[in-house]
Amino acid sequence: MISPGDTPCLKVENLDISIGDAVAVARGINLEIRRGETVALVGESGSGKTVTALSLIDLLPPPLKVTRGSVSICGQKITRAAPDALNRIRGNRVGMIFQQPSSMLDPSCRVGRQVGEALRLHRRASRGEAFERAVELLREVGIPEADRRARSFAHQLSGGMAQRVMIAAALSSDPDLLIADEPTTALDVTVQAQILGLLEKEKKQRTLSILLITHDLSIVSAMADRVVVMYAGGIVEEGPVATIMRAPQHPYTKALIDCSLMRTAGGGDLESIPGTIPPPTRSIPGCRFHPRCPHALARRQESACAREEPAATRTAAGHLVHCWAAEP
């Protein structure tokens, strides 16, 4: 096993992300991924998952920007790093795959070239070497007739194929960390399972850490070692996957698990959380979940929930919970 003294693959400390200087879309994000670990970042749409993911490789589209805190990958600082240093880390130490795989491929560039691109950049491979290696990688990610497929274009691939190509491209120069932002959301259910299986296989073959960003709890228990739950731009709970799924401590995590289809598969009614996630433009005093919280105390105006943001509490089960009701 990995000793705790190892440099974490990803370390995020007190990260704030804002639109311009005014509107905060993510606040106080702390995240750590050890080597070989898979961490799932879970939350509803609009909770700030994708923005957080992009900030990790410093590719936030303006006017979004990191206003506080820091990100390091394999001990190398990302926040406020020089552009050249960032280019050497991206695609080399960290690969990324995205939600809409087909649109992530250049429509007028053969996929083999795109898969081999990181090798050309980071391993100084020649055009021919990169292409040969790309064909091998495509074969490895399960693309039939890889040498023919390497010469095809994005529009000739299905969504699942395109995601396999993206995975091959992201893993081409053997990164330590793979950021997978909703990698299966846009795919058919059967293809989803194949892609997740592929990620598992790759993870075992290499010493790969994965940050799996998803709203789909059903894939979390199968893939992740630890789960981090985000709500409205902040982390509300974090802990090992088994206890999070079995005994969630934060009311939001509980509600999220109750809503997931797995729990209602027995025939009960479909649950939902009343209300909607607040837009980042609305600032909520106190705990950001308190307006929707089923916890009785939170509804009271005079309670701490409505006045002050709860700090992280380490519970007996080993969870970090941001909730006034949490007991150590």
Partner 1 sequence: MERFLLKRAIVLVVTLTLVSFLAFLVPWIGDTDPARAIIRSRVADLAMDSAAVEALRIKLGLDQPLLHQFFTWLGRVFQGDLGLSFTSRLPVADQILRAIGVSATLALSALFLALAIALPVGTLAAVHQGRRFDGIVTFIAQGFVSIPEYWLAPVLVLLFAVELGWLPSAGWSGFETLILPAAVLCLRPLAYFSQVMRASMIDVLHANYILAARSRGLGLAGALVRHGLRNGIQPVLTVFALWLAGLLGGSVVVEVIFAIPGMGRLIYSAVINNDMPMLQGSIICIVGLAIVINTTADVLYGVLNPTVTVSGDAR
Burial of 61 (0-12, 13-18, 19+ CB in 10 A): exposed
Residue 214: helix, strand or coil by DSSP? strand
Establish if 123 lies at the interface with partner 1 (CB under 8 A): no
Using the contact rule CB under 8 A, the part of the chain among 8-16, 99-107, 229-237, 262-270 near partner 1 is: 99-107
Establish if 89 lies at the interface with partner 1 (CB under 8 A): yes
Cβ 29 to partner 1 shortest distance, Å: 20
Establish if 124 lies at the interface with partner 1 (CB under 8 A): no
Question: Residues 166 to 185: which contact partner 1 by CB under 8 A?
Answer: 166, 169-170
Question: Residues 55 to 84: which contact partner 1 by CB under 8 A?
Answer: 57, 59, 61, 83-84
Q: Among 73, 96, 177, 320, which residue sits at the site for partner 1 (rule: CB under 8 A)? A: 96
Relative to beta strand 38-42, strand 226-231 is parallel
Cα 149 to Cα 75, 139, 183, 221, 298, distances in angstroms: 37, 10, 21, 33, 56
Using the contact rule CB under 8 A, the part of the chain among 102-110, 203-211, 220-228, 308-316 near partner 1 is: 102-110
> What are the beta bridge partners of residue 209?
177
* Closer residue to partner 1, CB minimum distance, 103 or 281: 103
Establish if 87 lies at the interface with partner 1 (CB under 8 A): yes
Establish if 90 lies at the interface with partner 1 (CB under 8 A): yes
Establish if 11 lies at the interface with partner 1 (CB under 8 A): no
Sign of CA dihedral 103, 108, 112, 118: negative
Angle at 252 between CA 315 and CA 271, to 5 degrees: 135
Angle at 189 between CA 184 and CA 194, to 5 degrees: 65
> In the structure encoding, which two tokens stand for residue 64, read together?
């979004």
* Closer residue to partner 1, CB minimum distance, 89 or 306: 89
Using the contact rule CB under 8 A, the part of the chain among 1-9, 31-39, 89-97, 310-318 near partner 1 is: 89-97
Cβ 105 to partner 1 shortest distance, Å: 6
Establish if 158 lies at the interface with partner 1 (CB under 8 A): no
User: CA neighbours within 13 Å on the CB side: how many for 249?
Assistant: 27
Contact 89, 96 (CB under 8 A): no
Angle at 52 between CA 184 and CA 22, to 5 degrees: 135
Cβ 283 to partner 1 shortest distance, Å: 28
Contact 101, 184 (CB under 8 A): no
Cβ 122 to partner 1 shortest distance, Å: 6
Q: Could you list the residues that contact partner 1 (CB under 8 A)?
A: 57, 59, 61, 83-84, 87-92, 95-96, 98, 100, 103-109, 114, 117-118, 121-122, 153-155, 166, 169-170
